[in-house]
Chains A and B, each alone.
Chain A
């Protein structure tokens, strides 16, 4: 079971003077249970790529299949796979519209024809998941929340659909470090506990290196790298640089130290691991003396 792109090309404004190919003959397969990070410079085609995955846009050429179902054409199947592939857009708080938070979160489940009991169950679960107390918040207006809380309501609205594949397009933009960490720890928990496949588009390399099990690097509409994030960050710096992206800040510090002659591993997921790596190196140096 997987989402599969087979030589997919996507062109905006076909036939107009503004014609622009955003994705070139791309083939890739995303397997169940993966946590895929997608990075790339602005305009590299990340948003185009993820919108193809749940049939919001249809390939100009090539085939997209979700669990074996072809969604390349506008057909009934596309509607059916939408509850399999959930999508959180950038600044999702701008899509809230209902009178109450609970009703807004219920919008997705209701569209997919669940019973009222199931819907309520889903809403409770989703709110709990993003850390909003049901009794306090369910009947409040979503427009009276802070930016970070609105973002969570919006994410809960997608999570309530129980997607098998969850796509997030820069879910943390504009949040402070605490807000960002909270949202990501929730997503990671969802990934682990429910074995949800997560596809995360981000400009923040730190988030990617902490969570992703696989990394796709896009550049000018092509996938230029595809592999294990730490491998890519430690061995493919030149390609990354050419694609207009950088390595996570910890990795950058460690690689700088490497270049100064320290024997340090740069394969770390987080700052804590980075500290351990440096500490380890210093101990070894001291022993050598």
Chain B
């Protein structure tokens, strides 16, 4: 089988974070990401660091996952760092021609880099501890209140569920189509820009056709199973808040409040 792609980044476990309600996790992550932007001093970065480290510790995830989530971004991280280090005016520490490093630059660069790293690590915590299916469920519930303003919460969730369900199937299909066309001498990798675009016809057309055929079959199968929209539907696994979620939300809000206070009132 192809690597189990629908699980994405999910790293199964039973920690406090794994057990949190997805709604609490999504909201908490969003709030804390905003809160990270409040931090502007060494002290407030200390608070952020402590909170990120605490969360990582209670998630029981292996340390190497941090490295994994940062890996695709190391160029950007180094770049961010150097831009700040070299371009911030201030007390010069080192100079060579027009290049100079200032004390403020080093300071700013470190803070900015830290912010970037925390943003990535913290948002990855959400995807490491929650499977996409559970996330979808959480999103549906979070969108429910917006139904009144015309957000089709149930339909969106259903679409996401079906899309997740069909991703592995369509990946296999893509692989098969590519192999079949390759066997007929197709070439996906060379030629002019226009030619490369045209080369995609033997891949994309059958892929869409097959996707539509599947959509049609699936719609028939769903109606045969009494599907008719979200109204009056129940769910097997109802989401339920527990004391855990209350604890987690309180913690996030408290940290956010502290960070806001440190920025604007201290």
Contact = CB atoms under 8 A, between A and B. Distances in A.
B185 A111 contact: yes
Contacts of A87: 180, 183
A13 B3 contact: yes
A114 to B, nearest CB: 10
A83 B185 contact: yes
A89 B179 contact: yes
Interface string B185-212: 1110000000000000110011001100
A82 B180 CA distance: 11
A127 B24 CA distance: 62
A171 interface: no
A94 B3 contact: no
Given A89-B179, A143-B209, A97 B185 contact: no
A56 interface: yes
Contact of B180 (A92, A111, A143): A92
Given A16-B3, A107-B202, A95 B185 contact: no
A123 to B, nearest CB: 13
A108 B180 CA distance: 11
A97 B179 contact: no
Given A51-B179, A89-B176, A97-B205, A161 B3 contact: no
Given A18-B4, A83-B185, A158-B184, A94 B177 contact: yes
Query: What does DSSP make chain B's interface, helix, strand, loop or mixed?
Result: helix
A41 to B, nearest CB: 17
B218 to A, nearest CB: 16
Contacts of A221: none
Contacts of B182: 56, 82
B232 to A, nearest CB: 37
Contacts of A13: 3
B210 A94 contact: yes
Identify which of B1, B2, B173, B182 gathers the most chain A CB atoms within 10 Å of its CB. Answer: B182
Contact of B184 (A16, A51, A157): A157
A97 B199 CA distance: 12
Interface in A52-68: 54, 56
B144 interface: no
B183 A82 contact: yes
B220 interface: no
B177 A111 contact: no
Listed from nearest, the 6 A-B pairs whose CB atoms lie closest are: A111-B185, A97-B205, A108-B184, A87-B183, A95-B180, A89-B180
